[in-house]
Amino acid sequence: MSKLIAIIVGFLLLASLVLFTTTYTVSFHEVVIKTRFGQENSVVRGETDAGLHFKLPFFIDRTVNFDTRLQLLESPLETIQTADGQQIVVRAFLMWRVDTAGDGPLAFDRSYDSTKQAGRLLLDQFRDSLSVLSKYSFSELVGGREGRLAEAEAALLDQMMSVRGNGVLPVTAGVSQLLLPPKTTTAVLSRMYQTRQNLSEAERFKGQAEAERIRSEAKTMAETIRAFAELRAEEIRAEGNEKAREYLEKLREDEEFAIYLVHLDALAQMLDKTTTLVVPTNLAPFDLMNLGGVSWAQPQRPVSQAPDGGAADEPVAEVASETEPS
C-alpha cells in the first residue's frame, strides 16, 4: 500500500514538473518573447492573447515576460544654465513603456534584459536630454506671457524619441520641479519686480492718455452742443421778437388800452393768492379798481373827506383778496 502511494505521489510530481515546463501564462498587461534554442521564435501579446499557453519543455523553449504598463522615470535635481544666463535647478520626469507595435517587443528583448535595467539605462540618457532646456530663458520656463514650458517639454520628449529603435516608447515628459539658487532667486525677483513696475507705469500712462483723450472729446462735443444751442436760441429769440413786433404794432394803435392790459395782468399776478394790500388807489395798476363813475380813458382819483370836512391828503383803498392758493 505504501509503495502504491509513493508511485502515485511520484507520478503527480512528474506531471506537475512536466506541466510547469511546458506551459506559461500571459497577463493582459504583459508581452512574452518565446525563443527556441536561443533564437527568437514568437511574440505573445497579452492584450490579445492573455491566458495559458504551451511550449516545449526544459531548454528547448524559453519565455521572457515584459510589463507593458507605463513606467515612471524621474531624474535627480540637475543644474542647468538658461539662455539668459540664469542658473536653475530642474527635476524632470519621463513616462515610458515597452513598444508593443510591430517588432517593438523583439527590439526591447535584444536591447535590455528587463524593464528595471531599461529604466536605469534610460535615466542616464534622460539626464543628458535635459540640456535641451538651456535653449529657453528663465521667464519662458516659468510661464506667464512669455511662457514656453509646454514647448520645452515637447522638445524634451523629442530628444528621447531616439530610443524607439530599442523597443521603448516614450509617452510624455515634463518638468516637475524648478528651483533657483538663493542668489539667483534674489536677482530674479528684483528684476521681475522692476519689470512689473515698468509695466504698471506704462499702463498708468496709457490710462492717463486715454482719459485725457476722452475729456478732450467730451469738451469738444460740449462746446459744439453749446454753440448749436446758442445759435438755436438766437433763432428762437429772433422768431419771438418778430412775432412780438406784430403785437406791438397792434398795441400802438391804442396805447391807453395796451397800458390797461398790462396793468390788468400785473394785478392778476399780484392777487392770485391770499393777499392783503393797503395801497393808494391812484397807484397803478390798482387805479383800475376805482370804479366811482370815472371814465376808463381818463381815470380820476376819488378824494376822501377828512373828519373836519376838508379833503384828505392821499386817497387810500384797502384791497383784499381771499382766493385760496391752488
Tell whether 174 is covered by a domain. yes
| pTM (predicted TM-score) | 0.51
CA–CA gap between residue 121 and residue 76 (Å, rounded) = 14
Angle made by CA atoms 290, 292, 293, in degrees to the nearest 5: 120
CA–CA gap between residue 126 and residue 73 (Å, rounded) = 9
Tell whether 33 is covered by a domain. yes
Of 67, 82, 107, the one marking the end of a domain is 67
Is 94 found in the same domain as 150? yes
Is 92 found in the same domain as 53? no
3-state secondary structure of 86: coil
Single out the residue of 32, 39, 31 nearest to residue 59, CA to CA.
Answer: 39
pLDDT of residue 305: 43
CA–CA gap between residue 290 and residue 319 (Å, rounded) = 11
Of 161, 180, 199, the one marking the end of a domain is 180
Is 166 found in the same domain as 81? yes
Q: Report the CATH number that the domain containing residue 85 is assigned in CATH.
A: 3.30.479.30
Amino acid occupying residue 61: D
Is 131 found in the same domain as 96? yes
Is 169 found in the same domain as 120? yes
Is 75 found in the same domain as 176? yes
Query: Residue with C-alpha cell 539667483?
Result: 184
Tell whether 233 is covered by a domain. no
Question: Which run of H or of E encompasses 318?
Answer: strand 316-321
Dihedral pair phi/psi, residue 21, rounded to 5°? -85, -10
- Tell me which DSSP letter residue 306 carries: P
Residues of the chain with pLDDT under 70: 1, 14-15, 18-20, 38, 41, 47, 143-146, 183-185, 187-188, 275, 277, 284-286, 288-326
Is 97 found in the same domain as 41? no
Strand-pairing partners, residue 34, are: 42, 63
Tell whether 31 is covered by a domain. yes
CA–CA gap between residue 96 and residue 280 (Å, rounded) = 118
Is 43 found in the same domain as 113? no
Is-contact 51 36, C-beta < 8 A? no
Tell whether 201 is covered by a domain. no
**Torsion angle, alpha carbons of 39, 42, 46, 47, to 10:** 140
Strand-pairing partners, residue 87, are: 81
Helices (H), the chain: 2-22, 46-49, 104-111, 115-129, 138-142, 149-160, 182-252, 255-270
Tell whether 238 is covered by a domain. no
Q: Could you read off the pLDDT of 42-73 as tens digits, one per residue?
A: 788 776 777 777 777 777 878 888 888 999 99
pLDDT of residue 36: 80
- Please report, for residues 73, 230, 287, the alpha-carbon distance to residue 88 in angstroms, rounded to integers and kept in the order given: 21, 71, 106
Structural domain including 276 reads 269-291+315-326
CA 27 to chain centre: 49
CA 177 to chain centre: 27
3-state percent helix, strand, coil for the chain, nearest multiple of 5 = 50, 25, 25
- Number of structural domains, the chain? 3
Is 168 found in the same domain as 75? yes
Angle made by CA atoms 260, 261, 264, in degrees to the nearest 5: 85
Is 175 found in the same domain as 97? yes
Tell whether 159 is covered by a domain. yes
Amino acid occupying residue 246: E
Is 84 found in the same domain as 46? no
CA–CA gap between residue 57 and residue 63 (Å, rounded) = 11
Tell whether 226 is covered by a domain. no
Of 48, 67, 86, the one marking the end of a domain is 67
Is 170 found in the same domain as 155? yes
